[in-house]
Structure 1
C-alpha cells in the first residue's frame, strides 16, 4: 500500500482546488438563505420560528444523509456520490422556484436540497481532501478548500438579494438551480476521484475505527461528536438570523447583505491563514482563537440592536469571519488526524451529520426565543453558550486522542 506523500502531488492540488470551487457554489447557495429568510418574514409575513423551520428541516436531513454519504464515499468514491448530491440540489432548488406555500418550501428546500447538501457537504468533502493530503499539511489543505465557503457567500448573498429585489424569491431559486445543474454537477463528477490507498498501522485508533464497539468506548470520539453538534450550530444561527436582526435595528437589507458578503471574503482568507496556523501550532490553538472571535461577534450583534454604525458592522464581519474560518475546517482536520488510518469518509460523515444536527437546532431555537420574547438577546446568549461548549469539547477531543499537534515528517 502507498503512503500519502509529505508534499501534495499535482493530483492532490487539483482535488483541493475542485473541492474549493464546489464549496464556493454549495455554500454560496446555502448561506444565501439569510436573505430569503428575511424575505419570508418581512414580505410573506411568516413568523421567524416558522420560516426558520425550513432551514432547520434542511439541516436535519443534512444530519441524516452526511454519515451515509461518508460511508458511500469509502465504498464508491466521490464521483457517483457527489453527482447524486448535485442533482438533488438542482432538483430541490427548482422545486423551491415552484413553491406556493411554506409547506412546499419545507419539502423542496428542507428535504430535497437538504439531502443534496448532506451528500456534498463539509464532512464528506473533507474526507476526500484528507485522503489526498497527509497530516502535516492537512490543515492548510482543508483551509484552502474550505475558503470556498466564505468566498461563496461574498458572491451569492448579494446575487440572491439582487435577484429577489429585481424579480422575486422564486426566480432567484430558479437561477440557483441552473447554477447547480450547469456548473456544480460537471465540476464534481469530472474533477474528483478516489483518494490513493493509505498505509495502515496496527494502532489502537486504527483498530477502534474499524470496530464500532471500540470506537463508541473512546472518549475522544464522543467529544468529537459534541464538537460537531456545537461547532456549526452557533454559526448557522447567525447565518439565518443576521440579516433580519440587522434590518430590525434599522440597517438597510442591501447593506446587511454587503456585511455578510464582506464576512465571507474575510473568512476565505481566514480559512487559509488558520489552516496554516493549525499545522504549525495545533488544532486546539486555532479553534480557540476562532471561538473567541465568534463570541466577540455575538457581543457586537447585541450592541447593534441598540444602535448600528458602520464601525460596528465592519467589526462584526471581521469577528464572524474569524469564527467561520476555524469551526468546520479545524473540526474535520482533528477528526482526520485522530482517525487517519481508515474510515475517513465514515468519521467525517459522522462529524458532518452532527454539523447538520446542530445547525438544525440552533436557528430554530433562536427563532423560537425571538418570537416568544420579541428580542434576539436571549437567542444570542444561547449562541454564546454553544460556542463555549464546543471549545471545551474540542480540547477534550484533542487531549483524549493525544492529537494536540500533528508532527511534521522527518526529512
Structure 2
C-alpha cells in the first residue's frame, strides 16, 4: 500500500517532494550539455536535438493535466513512481538510440511523461493539501527552491560525468541514480485524508469548465506560455550561444547555469514568501518585466564571462519564481481539490512556450546562423506577459450554493 489513513506530516511531505523536484528538475536542466556531443556523435544538426527536447517539453505539458488528475485521484506516490521509471527509460533512450526520428519520438514521449509525473505539476496538489492555508504560498516557494537547488547542485555533476565517463556513460549513471533516489522518496508522499464538504461534490469536468471559462485563469495561462519560452530557450541554447560568441571555456556555461540555479533558490523562496503578503499578480508582472529588461541589457553589454555571470544571477532570481505565485493564484481562486490537475493545464501552456523556445532557437540558428531573432522575441514576450498579468483577479471564485428544501 502506498497510502495510509493517518494524516501525513507536513514536514515529511515537504522534504520528500522537495527532494523529488531536486532530482527531477536538476537532471532536466542539464540537457543542454548534451546538445553538441550527441549532435556531433551522430552527425546531426542542432535542429534534431533541439526538436527532441522541444517535443519532450511539449509532451511534458500535454501529459501534465492527466498526471495531475491521476495524482488527485490515486495519490501522488503512484504518479511519482511511474515518473521515475519513465525517467530512467528516457535517459537510456538518449544514450542508445542513433536514428533521428526514433530518437526524437522516444525522448519526447518518455522524458515528457517522466517530467509530467515527477515535477511541479505532480507534487503541487499534495503540497497544497498538506500545507496550512496561511503557509501555502511559502510551501510552494520551498518547492520551487528545491527544484532550483537541483539545478545548482546537479548541473556541475552532469558536466563532470560527461567529461569523465563520456556522454553515454553519464546518461547510464543518471538513469540508475533516478531509480535509486526517486523510488524511496515517492513512498513518503502519502496523501492526507480527503476533506468532506457539504453539498454536491464538483466533478473533474465541472472543474475544467469552471476554470477555462474564468477570465483570470485564461490570463494566467497566457502569461505562463511566456515563462516557458524564455526559460527553455536560455536553458538549452545558452551553452552553444556562448561558444558561438567566442567564450570557448565550457566552465563559463556551466557556471552560468549553476548560478541560475543558485540564485533561483532565493528567488523562488522569497517569491513564495512575498506571495503571502502582496497581490501575486503584481509580483508576476514585475518578474516578467524585469526579465525583459535584463535580457535587453545582456544583449547590449559587451559579452564577457562576468557579464554572463551577472546575467545568470539576475535571471536566477526570476527563473522559477513564477511557479509558487502561479500555483498560489490557482489555489486561491479554485481551492486545492483539483489543484494538481488545474496546475497541469496552466503548465501545459508553459510547455507549449518551452517547445517553441527550444525548437525555434535551433530552427532559426540553422536558418540564420545566429540566435539574435529569438533573443528579441524573448524580450517582446516578456513585456506582453507583464501587461496581461496586471488585471488578474485573485479572489476565490463564487460558486452557486445548492438549493435547500
Fold shared, TM-score > 0.5 on shorter chain: yes
Structure 1: gaps spanning 5 or more residues: 1-8, 404-411
More displaced, 58-67 or 92-101? 92-101
Could you give the per-residue CA deviations for residues 256-293 of structure 1, whole angstroms, max 9, x where no partner exists? Answer: 11111121111112111121111111212322332234
Task: Tell me how far apart the structure 2 counterparts of residues 208 and 76 of structure 1 sit (CA, whole Å).
Answer: 14
Matched pairs, number: 391
In the TM superposition, residue 336 of structure 1 has moved relative to its aligned partner by 1.5
Is 1:103 the equivalent of 2:98? no
Is 1:337 the equivalent of 2:332? yes
What does residue range 339-378 of structure 1 map to in structure 2 within 5 Å? 339-340=334-335, 342-378=337-373
What does residue range 186-335 of structure 1 map to in structure 2 within 5 Å? 186-188=184-186, 190-198=187-195, 200=197, 210-251=206-247, 252-303=249-300, 307-335=302-330
More displaced, 384-393 or 109-118? 384-393
Q: 1:127 aligns with which of 116, 125, 128?
A: 125
Task: Report if aligned partners of 2:271, 2:324 keep a CA contact under 8 Å in 1.
Answer: no
Moved over 6 A (4+): 206-209, 400-403
More displaced, 60-69 or 222-231? 222-231
Secondary structure of 2:321's partner? helix
Could you give the per-residue CA deviations for residues 354-385 of structure 1, whole angstroms, max 9, x where no partner exists? Answer: 22222112211122222222121110111122
Task: Tell me how far apart the structure 1 counterparts of residues 340 and 310 of structure 2 sit (CA, whole Å).
Answer: 37
- Taking a change above 3 Å as real, the CA distance of residues 85 and 375 of structure 1, as seen in their structure-2 partners, is same
Task: Tell me how far apart the structure 2 counterparts of residues 14 and 233 of structure 1 sit (CA, whole Å).
Answer: 33
In the TM superposition, residue 353 of structure 1 has moved relative to its aligned partner by 2.1
- Taking a change above 3 Å as real, the CA distance of residues 284 and 47 of structure 1, as seen in their structure-2 partners, is same
TM-score (norm 2): 0.88
Task: Report if aligned partners of 1:94, 1:177 keep a CA contact under 8 Å in 2.
Answer: yes
What does residue range 26-37 of structure 1 map to in structure 2 within 5 Å? 26-37=24-35
TM-score (norm 1): 0.87
- Taking a change above 3 Å as real, the CA distance of residues 398 and 48 of structure 1, as seen in their structure-2 partners, is farther
Task: Report if aligned partners of 1:293, 1:319 keep a CA contact under 8 Å in 2.
Answer: no
- Taking a change above 3 Å as real, the CA distance of residues 137 and 399 of structure 1, as seen in their structure-2 partners, is closer
In the TM superposition, residue 102 of structure 1 has moved relative to its aligned partner by 3.0
Task: Report if aligned partners of 2:289, 2:386 keep a CA contact under 8 Å in 1.
Answer: no
Structure 2: gaps spanning 5 or more residues: 1-6, 399-405
CA RMSD of superposed structures (Å): 2.6
- Taking a change above 3 Å as real, the CA distance of residues 172 and 236 of structure 1, as seen in their structure-2 partners, is same
What does residue range 72-151 of structure 1 map to in structure 2 within 5 Å? 72-151=70-149
Task: Report if aligned partners of 2:72, 2:341 keep a CA contact under 8 Å in 1.
Answer: yes
Task: Tell me how far apart the structure 2 counterparts of residues 235 and 104 of structure 1 sit (CA, whole Å).
Answer: 26
Task: Report if aligned partners of 1:234, 1:359 keep a CA contact under 8 Å in 2.
Answer: yes
Q: Which residue of 2 aligns with 1:22?
A: 20
More displaced, 332-341 or 261-270? 332-341
More displaced, 28-37 or 165-174? 165-174
- Taking a change above 3 Å as real, the CA distance of residues 320 and 200 of structure 1, as seen in their structure-2 partners, is farther
Task: Report if aligned partners of 1:131, 1:196 keep a CA contact under 8 Å in 2.
Answer: no
Secondary structure of 2:277's partner? helix
Secondary structure of 2:9's partner? helix
In the TM superposition, residue 315 of structure 1 has moved relative to its aligned partner by 1.2
Task: Tell me how far apart the structure 2 counterparts of residues 48 and 291 of structure 1 sit (CA, whole Å).
Answer: 28
